[in-house]
Structure formats: C-alpha cells, structure tokens
C-alpha cells in the first residue's frame, strides 16, 4: 500500500523569537493533526543530543523550511550565515521550499531570501497586525497550500512508480502529469485527459484505467480528493485530473 507521509517542516528562528514561534507552531497544529506536516524546531531536541548536528539533520530532510524573520534573526550569525544559507541552497536545488515568515519589522529587502514570496499577506510583520492570530492563520494557510502541493507531487511520483513504464520514461510522465494538474482547463472531458496520458506515456488503455486502483490506501484516496477539490477549485466530475484519484 502506498501511504502519504507528513511533509517535514523545519523552522529556522532566533531564540529571541521563541514565544512567537511557539504561537506559530500552535497555528500549524491543525495541519499536524491532519497528518499533512511534521513541524520541527529545536525545542524538540532531547537531552544529550548534539545540538548543531541534530539541527543540520532535520534541515536536510525538510521539504518546507520556514525562516522566522526578525531583527534578531538577521543579526544572528548562525541563523543568517548557516541555516539561511543552507536553506536557500536546498531551495535552489528544488529539495525544499523556503518560506520567509516576517515576524517582526526589520529591513530585509536586500537579504538573499528577498526574492521569495514572504508571508503573512503583503509581508506585513506579524507583530504589526491588528490581530496576531489572524496574521498567523494567514501564514498557516500559505503553508497548507505548499504542503498540499508537495504531497500531491509525491503522490504522483509514487503512482508513476507503480506503472509498467520504462525507467527513462518516468521523468517525462511525471512532468506531463504535474503539468496536467496545473492546466486542468485544457481538458474538456476525462476521456481527453486519459487519451493524452496514454499518448504521452505509451500506455495501454487498461494501464491508464487501472492507474488509480493499485496499491493505494482508501484513506489516502480521500485525502487526495479533498486536497484536489480545494487546490483546483472545481467538482471532480468536471475536473479531469481528479479522475486520477477516484477509486
């Protein structure tokens, strides 16, 4: 059975911002309870563990890295020169998605992460919001969207791996499938979607018709369908790509 793992999420922050980061973690707790993310920051380091090594290990497996931006973050050599530098390297290599979270006002526009879309909305610092909970809810909403997209991509990769497709064809099929998810309106019907999938992958009709019936847990089907409906804003009956995930 193919199961979906929570998206590893790493928080890089200055200890001066610990209270705000704790509050952010509480806003992310619904995503954790759903099994969508596994949020980690250094408060989870246990006694006797090597501090720097543990942080490095967690960052290296994270698919989402949150940079908790504040004056203290920018001033910290470790946050700025070690964690942020490595985070951006992983982002450039498409190993992680880096999301700057602007906690407190600071001039960050010339920083290396400035090219990335920052949250909350309009990169307004959390502490300047009329309601901090509303600002952190906005942050959580953005993180949910990214985590759902990563999960869908991972699902596609795993489903492709179950098909009888030559190894060298897998990257092309993956790109096609993800492209189709991004361009659903190009398809007038589910049949057109399957026809294109067969043509691109060189699969027999039976292979594509059973694409969604192999080695997938029922609970995963439900989660994927819910996410697709929310991400792509349309009922599955008229959204061809949703057919990929219907039992």
Q: Is 2 within the bounds of a domain?
A: no
Assess whether 139 and 22 both reside in one domain: yes
Helix (H) or strand (E) holding 11: strand 7-12
Beta strand segments in 51-169, E: 64-69, 97-102
Domain span at 77: 7-148
CA pair distance 84, 74, nearest whole angstrom:
10
Assess whether 71 and 188 both reside in one domain: no
Q: Is 73 within the bounds of a domain?
A: yes
CA pair distance 127, 130, nearest whole angstrom:
8
User: What percentage of the chain carries pLDDT values higher than 90?
Assistant: 49
Assess whether 143 and 173 both reside in one domain: no
We report the CATH number of the domain holding residue 63 as: 3.40.50.10140
* pTM of the shown model: 0.71
Per-residue pLDDT band for 97 (boundaries 50, 70, 90) equals very high
Look at residues 148, 176, 207 and tell me which one is the last residue of a structural domain. Answer: 148
Q: Which two tokens stand for residue 160?
A: 């492709």
- Give the Cβ contact number of residue 105 at 10 Å: 14
Q: Is 96 within the bounds of a domain?
A: yes
Rounded average pLDDT over 232-245 = 33
Assess whether 96 and 128 both reside in one domain: yes
Which among 29, 7, 24, 9 is positioned nearest to 101, based on CA atoms? Answer: 24
Query: Quick one: residue 114, left, alpha or beta (phi over 0 = left, psi -120 to 50 = alpha)?
Result: alpha
Per-residue pLDDT band for 190 (boundaries 50, 70, 90) equals very low
Assess whether 142 and 177 both reside in one domain: no
Assess whether 111 and 168 both reside in one domain: no
Q: Per-residue pLDDT for 215 more than 90? A: no
Q: Is 156 within the bounds of a domain?
A: no
- The vertex-119 CA angle with 137 and 43, nearest 5°, equals 70
Range name among 33-37, 44-48, 73-77 with the lowest pLDDT average: 44-48
How is 36-77 classified by DSSP, letter by letter?
A: SEEEE-GGGPPTTS-HHHHHHHHHHH-SEEEEEESHHHHH-H
Q: What's the domain count of the chain?
A: 2
Q: Is 206 within the bounds of a domain?
A: yes
Give the sign of the dihedral formed by CA 244, CA 182, CA 99, CA 172: positive
Assess whether 176 and 109 both reside in one domain: no
Q: Is 1 within the bounds of a domain?
A: no
pLDDT recorded at residue 163: 54
Rounded average pLDDT over 235-246 = 32
Q: Which two tokens stand for residue 198?
A: 């067969």
Range name among 30-44, 73-87, 145-159, 216-230 with the lowest pLDDT average: 216-230
Assess whether 102 and 220 both reside in one domain: no
The answer to whether 224 and 35 have CB atoms below 8 angstroms apart is no
Assess whether 199 and 143 both reside in one domain: no
Assess whether 143 and 37 both reside in one domain: yes
Assess whether 27 and 85 both reside in one domain: yes
Look at residues 148, 171, 201 and tell me which one is the last residue of a structural domain. Answer: 148
Contacts of 62 (CB under 8 A, 6+ apart): 8, 9, 10, 40, 90, 96
Look at residues 92, 124, 148 and tell me which one is the last residue of a structural domain. Answer: 148
More confident residue, 177 or 147: 147
Assess whether 144 and 169 both reside in one domain: no
Q: Per-residue pLDDT for 29 more than 50? A: yes
């Amino acid at each position: 059975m193919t199961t979906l793992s929570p998206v590893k999420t790493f928080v890089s922050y200055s200890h001066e911002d610990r209270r705000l980061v704790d509050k952010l973690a509480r806003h992310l707790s619904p995503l954790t309870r759903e099994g969508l993310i596994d949020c980690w920051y250094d408060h989870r380091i246990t006694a006797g563990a090597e501090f720097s090594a543990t942080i490095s290990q967690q960052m290296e497996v994270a698919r989402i890295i949150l940079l908790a931006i504040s004056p203290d973050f920018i001033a910290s050599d470790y946050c700025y020169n070690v964690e942020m530098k490595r985070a951006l390297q992983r982002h450039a290599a498409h190993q992680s998605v880096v999301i700057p979270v602007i906690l407190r006002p600071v001039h960050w526009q010339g920083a290396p992460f400035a090219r990335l879309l920052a949250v909350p909305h309009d990169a307004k610092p959390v502490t300047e919001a009329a309601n901090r909970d509303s600002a952190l809810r906005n942050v959580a909403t953005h993180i949910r969207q990214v985590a759902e997209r990563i999960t869908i991509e991972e699902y596609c990769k795993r489903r492709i791996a179950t098909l009888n497709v030559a190894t060298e064809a897998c990257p092309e099929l993956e790109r096609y499938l993800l492209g189709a998810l991004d361009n659903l309106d190009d398809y007038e019907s589910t049949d057109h979607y399957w026809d294109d999938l067969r043509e691109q992958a060189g699969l027999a009709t039976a292979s594509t018709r059973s694409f969604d019936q192999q080695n997938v847990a029922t609970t995963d089907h439900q989660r994927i369908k819910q996410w697709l409906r929310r991400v792509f804003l349309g009922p599955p009956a008229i959204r061809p790509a949703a057919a990929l995930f219907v039992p």
